[in-house]
Structure 1
């Protein structure tokens, strides 16, 4: 293991001991120090999971930290990442895979870190009405005639096979090559026997369509419904509110949520450059404090604040979708086929289940999927995965922010009690749609479990 990773794990162990005894070392606002940079600009994409940034702004949490923040929507994920790298943006709502991919040099090379995980769950896979008609007969029904959930890609496979037999490409959309959406869509398809294709960057092929039965391509989130309606794609994986928008417009049917693909999966992170964190350590801790408080507000009292949050997010400067569209998922329900609205209280989680804590094992899962689909061209030892995770995910910064919030009585020690003894690795996770268990301590063993995808020793 690298010196960097070793240092990170030592820091984390020290923090975990303090948390396990619920003893928070003195780290008051005075000791943290004034922010070295007070005026900041943060970027985001128009998705409901940018909510912690909006709430930290609207509720004055940034100002409480002496931070004067401007929030700016970005055209797409690449523009957003480039803005953080070149300093136009001080930080941003990011796809969890972006800091990881940048750090290992897949796409743009840059040292991006995250001290804060923004949410769990929040995505869905939607298909067009025509594809839904063809799938529906392959799905078991409940007594009331509604489909049994979760709907597996097994129901889609005969449809894809028929397109292949007719020589027609089966096109689907996702938001970015290193997005959760790409990996979740690929995971769901492969679990149903549909090959989503390989990448071969060492050969100059970054299409991700080698050997593919379903052809995946990039579409920005707000454009997903229109692209589906135009018939350019037959389905997509995206965050809210763009699955529910398809229901409201009557152009598509969400068939599965990411909660059903991988229960309580990590989704977005707040990304900053490593240089920013080193140059402005007080500012980094303070912005993390504000985001933690916002996440807590979003989930407290059994989501009692969600209606107010939806009202804020519906503003044009944030997500800009209709209140009812955003509320359909943000307030604990999710509508699949029109009229089939079901309770999904954890569709959006911002603070519960340690949602804000940057787990090393979460980073490692993304790396395993990059390797599985060829974005990482060669085998890596387990220690490499852990080293990269420790370089990008920074629980040491998070816990210093948390300790200071408790010290100032802005939050309670009980808010972080479940982090007692935390080593940065979740217990082996069993709630995947295909039943495969993920243990972040054993990435290569995990990769070898899949019937579709590269295994240890494989090359394209």
Structure 2
């Protein structure tokens, strides 16, 4: 436990982006899970991932709901001053999507294969937006495009936009598609400006999502506070998934002006696993956005962090080859997570690594990151 000094809770300032996958942070603060561990979470709503990064690394925030890939970008000094970072836990898995414009859909581009065919006939390059150059959405978007024979950096134009600007940019014709977290994929469908071409769980089943991140310096100076934050979020995540009623309440809270400030139903549908691709297909997803999964969601697997580095290497974002395992062991603070897991009775996996087969049929398990990064036909 972080401890209560002079009968005062330790205040921790945590940044978040207004996305559905910030839910465990919001509900930890709203339901008082934080106070059970001697801390008081004060949430700070941010406007861009660059803003989250800068406030976290400067110390204006103690921690943040942050893109996994962004954390490794800062750790490796990609596009910014290098700084040692700490991933404390995974906050979510699955639940992102690639959205294509209604115009493309009406021209027959509804999925990867049809988009690839359509782009061969376009007189111009298509423009696709993601949320941060080293982030999850950029890497998942590039992976999906390349899996269908589209070079994302040579046959298309990549643009970085804050999530909240995606739908407006699609409506204005500034972009042809985007990859972002919810509720923006659903919002594009609600406003009839886009269709869901692929979910992120179709690209990488049970992929990691946002993480609870902080600097290595904060983790070193306040390990008890870090364990308390993890424990509070584990409890909140478990509560969200305990019942449909809890998910419904979560959607209602998230819709408020302090958080996502959008229609409740736009959030609730995909939070409950109910999908509509905007082109006539509806389904109940077997791998929807998830926050706990008996702890399976939250463990900071070394192989997850390593995957993002392999993609940074693949797309030319790194000058040299990193020591994949050593970097992951430094960033992913499994020691702190295990302490919080013990405090909350959360089950631990048998291994610090895990495997999965992605959309192109290639298996990733962390055993040969160098070979994996160099194995792709489409790469920088």
Q: Do both proteins adopt the same fold according to a TM-score greater than 0.5, normalized to the shorter chain?
A: yes
What's the offset of the Cα at 1:69? Answer: 2.2
Question: What is the match of residue 333 of structure 2?
Answer: 394
Cα displacement (A) at 1:340: 2.8
Q: Deviations over 1:140-174 (max 9, x none)?
A: xxxxxxxxxxx4x22111221222xx2x2311110
3-state DSSP class of the match of 1:270?
strand
Match status 1:442 vs 2:371: no
Distance between the aligned counterparts of 1:135 and 1:379, measured in 2? 40
Higher RCO (CA-CA < 8 Å; seq separation 6+)? 1
The yes-or-no answer on 1:232 pairing with 2:174 is: yes
1:380-420 deviation digits (Å, cap 9, x = unpaired) = 4xxx10000011111110010111223xxxxxxxx40xx35
Which structure would you say has the larger Rg? 1
SS in 2 for 1:369: helix
The match for 1:18 is none
CA distance in 1, matches of 2:349, 2:101: 45
Secondary structure of 2:34's aligned partner: helix
Instruction: Provide Cα deviations, 1:190-244, integer angstroms capped at 9, x if missing partner.
Output: 01111012xxxxxxxxxxxxxx101111011011000000000010101000010
> How far apart are 1:300 and its partner, in Å?
2.2
Deviates more, 1:437-446 or 1:54-63: 437-446
Which has the higher mean CA deviation after the structures are superposed, 441-450 or 250-259?
441-450
CA positional deviation for 1:276: 1.1
2:275 pairs, out of 306, 313, 334, with: 334
> How does the TM-score come out when normalised to structure 2?
0.95
* Aligned match for 1:115, one of 72, 82, 88: 88
TM-score of the pair, normalised by structure 1: 0.79
Q: Runs of 5+ in structure 2 lacking a partner?
A: none
Could you tell me how far apart the structure 1 residues matched to 2:13 and 2:62 are? 6
Shift in Å, 1:299: 1.8
Distance in 2 of aligned mates of 1:339 and 1:155: 16
Please tell me the root mean square deviation across aligned C-alpha atoms, in Å. Answer: 1.7
Answering whether residue 117 of structure 2 is matched by residue 161 of structure 1, we say no
| Post-superposition offset of 1:320 | 1.3
Contact 1:250–1:338, Cα closer than 8 Å, also in 2: no
Indicate conservation of the 8 Å contact 1:37/1:280, yes or no: no
- Is the CA contact 1:52–1:291 (under 8 Å) kept in the aligned structure 2? yes
1:379 Cα offset (Å) = 3.3
SS where residue 206 of structure 2 aligns? coil
Tell me how many residue pairs correspond in the alignment.
376
Identify unmatched segments of 5+ residues in structure 1. Answer: 1-28, 140-150, 198-211, 407-414, 455-460
What does 1:23-34 align with in structure 2 at a 5 Å threshold? 29=1, 33-34=3-4
Partner of 1:421: 350
Of 336, 344, 356, which aligns to 1:405?
A: 344
Instruction: Determine the structure 2 residue equivalent to 1:374.
Output: 316
Q: Which of 310, 315, 324 is residue 265 of structure 2 equivalent to? A: 324
Residue 315 in 1 paired to residue 256 in 2? yes
Secondary structure at 1:195 match in 2 = coil
CA shift in 2, pair 1:420/1:79, >3 Å? closer
Paired position in structure 2 for 1:349: 290
Q: Is the 8 A contact 1:333 1:345 kept in 2?
A: no
Give the equivalent residue in structure 1 for 2:232.
290
Matched, 1:57 2:13: no
| d(CA) in 2 for partners of 1:252, 1:98 | 27
Runs of 4+ in 1 over 4 A off after TM superposition: 32-37
